[in-house]
Amino acid sequence: MKPMRVKVDDRCCQGHGLCNVEVPEIFKLRDEDGHAYVEGPEVPTGLQDAVRRAGANCPEQAIAVTD
């Protein structure tokens, strides 16, 4: 089974930060502009539901999840 992957589109992210509140293990915020990034695209099984929620809740729809 392929692992779930996630990425943040920096052109869309406006630094709302909800993703970091929801899943700080996955979504980090850059010091310089507060935009989100992921350190690695693969999402551990136990965090997948939370990452999907973060994707649904991002006001800019900047989070893309691929199964």
Residue whose entry in the numeric block shows the structure tokens 């850059």: 30
Site membership for ligand F3S, residue 28 (CB under 6 A): no
Binding test (CB under 6 A) with ligand F3S, winner from 6, 26, 36, 51: 36
Site membership for ligand F3S, residue 62 (CB under 6 A): yes
How far is the C-alpha of 1 from the C-alpha of 17, rounded, in Å?
A: 30
Site membership for ligand F3S, residue 56 (CB under 6 A): no
Q: What is the DSSP string of 26-43?
A: TEEE-TTT--EEESSSB-
Footprint on this chain of ligand F3S (rule: CB under 6 A): 8, 13-19, 35-36, 58, 60, 62-63
